[in-house]
Structure 1
């Protein structure tokens, strides 16, 4: 469980460490047990004559930013990885276009009974997913999308419990 204080420390460190000219707005920092994902919002491009042209211009801007900042991002990531003992991944948002450059795909083991395996196999057979692992990831994304408010409330409650534990007697 990552406490609110730990999240604030990580956000604060990145806020002080990231170059100001990299961001149109404060970086979005997301943290779990394994990874810190830093998503930078960079200036949007001028709108093209069509939505397709604008989207491609945004993708090109994201790609250029990735190449232009690679060395400096890697140096910041190495520093943060030593400091917080987590992998650091990067992404950008340009207008409505979001792109993750690098991110961790952590294996997760689970035991499923036949009815749950049949759900995954249906998704694979229908071409929604390439494998059971992809189908399970798809299901997790779907639940997160539809249960975001509930999950946010649950994470907040867990964070409060962690904060209360830290204030209690130490063993």
Structure 2
């Protein structure tokens, strides 16, 4: 199924009062991450940034506990249907929080110069292991290459559409 079809399934299946808005559904081979917007807490005028942040954090924690049963019920259905784990997240007053999500192992082969970079990150205390160092590198590329990665994602969507319309495709 395409990401749009999976997003559509969640949009139709989620309890109507779960989120104010379904913000994002991200799909890969192992996981589906569902992020929705929840109401911002009411704050008195002039509260400090620290109090605002703590109030939002509390609202997110309250939402997570209160909706656990409903979210797990939907996740169970989706996991059987799509054969992927489901993770959850929320946006509240400009803050995004992801709940427990999959950390999938990825096997890679690196040459010595690349391994030396990872080992330097470990020796410098930036990462606890080569695996952590590699994750750190991927996050750094993601932060500094958002526009390029967005262009690449869009081109892959176009490739998938061309494949879907290709020879042997259902009419």
Tell whether 2:35 aligns with 1:39: yes
1:54-73 per-residue CA deviation (whole Å, 9 max, x = no partner) reads: 11111111111111011110
The 2-side partners of 1:17 and 1:34 are apart by 21
Whether the 8 Å contact between 1:35 and 1:88 is mirrored in structure 2 is yes
The RMSD of aligned alpha carbons is 1.7
Give the structure 1 partner of residue 6 of structure 2: 10
Picking from 142, 145, 151, the partner of 2:143 is 145
> In structure 1, which of residues 15, 22, 25 is the aligned counterpart of residue 18 of structure 2?
22
Structure 1 stretch displaced more, 15-24 or 59-68: 15-24
Deviation at 1:158? 1.9
Q: Quick check: 1:24–1:41 contact (8 Å CA) kept in 2?
A: yes
**Bigger shift: residues 70-79 or 118-127:** 118-127
Task: Trace 1:44-55 onto structure 2 (pairs within 5 A).
Answer: 44-47=40-43, 49-55=47-53
The correspondence for 1:56, drawn from 54, 57, 81, is 54
Relative to total residues, which structure has the larger helix share, 1 or 2? 1
TM-score (norm 1): 0.90
- Residue number in structure 2 paired with 1:135: 133
Structure 2: tracts of 5 or more residues without a match: none
Q: Equivalents in 1 of 2:95, 2:23: separation in Å?
A: 15
Give me the TM-score of the superposition, normalised by structure 2: 0.90
The structure showing larger relative contact order (alpha-carbon pairs under 8 Å, at least 6 residues apart) is 1
What is the number of residues matched between the two proteins? Answer: 167
CA distance in 2, matches of 1:165, 1:26: 28
Point out the more displaced range, 75-84 or 5-14: 5-14
Q: Which runs of 5+ in 1 are unaligned?
A: none
Distance between the aligned counterparts of 2:120 and 2:94, measured in 1?
32
* 1:96-107 matches, cutoff 5 A: 96-107=94-105
Alpha-carbon deviation of 1:20?
2.8
